[in-house]
Amino acid sequence: MTFLMLSFPERVEVFRRHFERDLPEVPFVSDAAAVDPLDVRYLMTWSFPDQLETLYPNLELIFSVGAGIDQVVGKPIPPKARLVRMVESGLTTLMRDYVVMSVLALHRRLPAYIDQQRRGEWKNLPFQWADQRRVGVLGLGELGLASLEALRPFGFQLSGWSRSPKEIEGVHCHHGADGLAQMLAQTDILICLLPLTPETKGILNADLFARLPKGAALVQIGRGAHMDQDALLAALDSGHLDAAFVDVTVPEPLPADHPLWSHPKVILTPHVAGHTRADSAAEATVANMRLHLAGLDPKGLVDPARGY
């Protein structure tokens, strides 16, 4: 029942140490050529090989090294295999911190002040108090919950949207199509933390931006395919949206002449909002393996019908 990990050597060695110390009964391998494919019961990687169902027919668990699993959802996999996305404290912490940074920057109109600085203009801009600012989160999974909890002390009016109903203390929760429309109409800063599924692909489009109040701002740290980048640029250029933090794009990296690079209302970062921390990820994976070996569901188990 071999565990095969395909990743960067530095990360692999951290996982190897944890497996050898905490789960020695499960052979750990990082060289696909050194193992009989029929012996591979567990596979962890980010870029999954083609034809998994024939290459590793005895797979039981397929782990992603990151929070996303859409790169393999919908592709043929062995009939007994189940998909597991990464849920670990290091990734959650980084994503939470990026959300707080970007929300505070948008709240205090940092993109506009950076643009003024470039032009040598000394000018005070209108502002709002935190308790007047409405912050909405798309996606109420682990990352959304951690972000809302971190934003709570600042006093923002918090809301969130998810596919199914949820209750979170101090957060106005919405769900479904009607709930999305209601939240958008009452959101000054919108944060995208959704998983990428056929239903959420392209959700950040011209229609959604039009539903936000004039002067709203966006934090896009979900997946690049969530957003119509031309629609964002149009909303910014028209003045309907005030600013945006963008961490994920299509393609990555963006072409050198893409307008997002130089747009005065955009803070663009190169997909750095979240990274898996090797030690905590290894601990989480070992814990998930123990759950699986005990006949229990691992944390982060993906529902193929939903795609997350």
CA atoms within 13 A on the CB side of 43: 29
Helix (H, G, I), strand (E, B) or coil at 296: coil
Catalytic residue list contains 275:
no
Q: Per the residue annotation, which of 17, 108, 258, 271 is the catalytic one?
A: 271
Q: Per the residue annotation, which of 223, 226, 263, 277 is the catalytic one?
A: 223
Neighbour order of strands in the sheet with 189-192: 172-175, 157-162, 134-138, 189-192, 216-220, 241-246, 266-268
Catalytic residue list contains 223:
yes
In whole angstroms, give the CA distance from residue 93 to residue 178. 31
Q: What is the identity of the amino acid at 54?
A: T
Neighbour order of strands in the sheet with 28-29: 28-29, 2-5, 40-45, 61-64, 82-84
Rg (the chain; Cα; Å): 21
Residues labelled catalytic: 223, 271
